[in-house]
Amino acid sequence: MLVQNSTNINLLYFAGMKQLIFNRRKYGRELLIDAVSEEEMEFIDDILQPSFYILLFVKKGNGRYQLDLEDFMLKNNMAIFIRPGSINIVKDITIEQGRMLVFEGAFLDEFFVDKNFIYKFNCFHSQDFPSFLPIDMRQFLKYYNMAAEIQEEILAMTGDSHHILRSLIYYLLIRMDQHYAERYGAPRSNLADTKMLEFQKLLFSTIRENKNVEGYARQLGISRVHLNKLCRQYYSKTASQVIKEHLITEIKKELKYSKKDFSEIAYAFNFSAPSNFSRFVKQMTGLTPQEFIRPLSN
């Protein structure tokens, strides 16, 4: 992953993991967005976990990048979408030219009536398609120059800057999400229901504690029947399917990166017994936890 020399990002250390924490007051007054270019980035061979969103533009670079369950090589004219809580490993990374936008989801919430607006963007939240996007040079330069404009606005910082920055990042994300959908054949998010946006947020933030439809329906203040209806409308899946698919993705990440044994992982995900945990993994992947991690160990 990457650390900025510009002190915009702080590091917290826990359980062998380095978590990146956004510094909201780098510029004095609170600001939930920042932008830097390659000379302000330092790449380290480590495991890091950001607490914020990162949009990384690689104009010229190479090296192996591991992002959650993905493993890919950096290429020129590539964008990488990194969401909060994701696990990032970078080995032998070189970025000769690049820009990075970092922001908290609340930055967009302040601008729109719909809270949790960031969850409308599949490029950050899809678990069915890659987290990177190769882009043709001409289009890449348009995005890249917009990132530069955002950086310039932050450095200039006038009374209107907050409004300008939100407009710029909103336009950029909409365009990139369209490009992402076209590239991978991913459906554009049509999440218009505020309850579904909140459901998306809860899936990413409470999946370890809550694995059943009733629990999510209760948190959302709606019935189980209503939640199922919404999931069928927006995902063409039952609420239970959506929850299980999200849960197994998080479990796979834990199996891949954690040093915990299977029992510890089972209880961390609130399973009543390790045997129930193993049964769930087998049901969802066709493999036992031991079989799943065997090729990773090699």
For 186-241, the pLDDT digits (tens) are 776 666 678 988 999 999 999 999 999 999 999 999 999 999 999 998 888 999 99
Across the chain, what does the average pLDDT equal? 88
pLDDT number for residue 12:
41
Q: Is residue 51 a contact partner of residue 43, using CB atoms and an 8 Å limit?
A: no
Instruction: Summarize the confidence of residues 168-187 as an average pLDDT.
Output: 92
pLDDT number for residue 93:
80
pLDDT exceeds cutoff 50 at 1: no
**What does the longest C-alpha to C-alpha distance in the chain come to?**
59
pLDDT number for residue 13:
40
Comparing CA positions, the residue from 63, 64, 67 lying closest to residue 84 is 67
Give the HSE-up count for residue 221: Cα atoms under 13 Å, Cβ half-sphere.
3
pLDDT number for residue 114:
64
Q: Domains along the chain?
A: 2-184 (2.60.120.280), 194-297 (1.10.10.60)
| Three-class SS state of 98 | strand
Q: Is residue 190 a contact partner of residue 93, using CB atoms and an 8 Å limit?
A: no
Percent of the chain with pLDDT over 70: 89
In terms of C-beta distances under 8 Å and separation of at least 24 residues, what long-range contacts does 127-131 make, across chains too? Answer: 127/245, 127/246, 127/249, 128/186, 129/180, 129/184, 129/186, 130/70, 130/72, 130/184, 131/67, 131/68, 131/70, 131/80, 131/81, 131/82, 131/86
pLDDT exceeds cutoff 60 at 169: yes
> CA–CA separation, 96 vs 41, rounded Å?
10
Using pLDDT thresholds of 50, 70 and 90, give the confidence band for residue 6.
very low
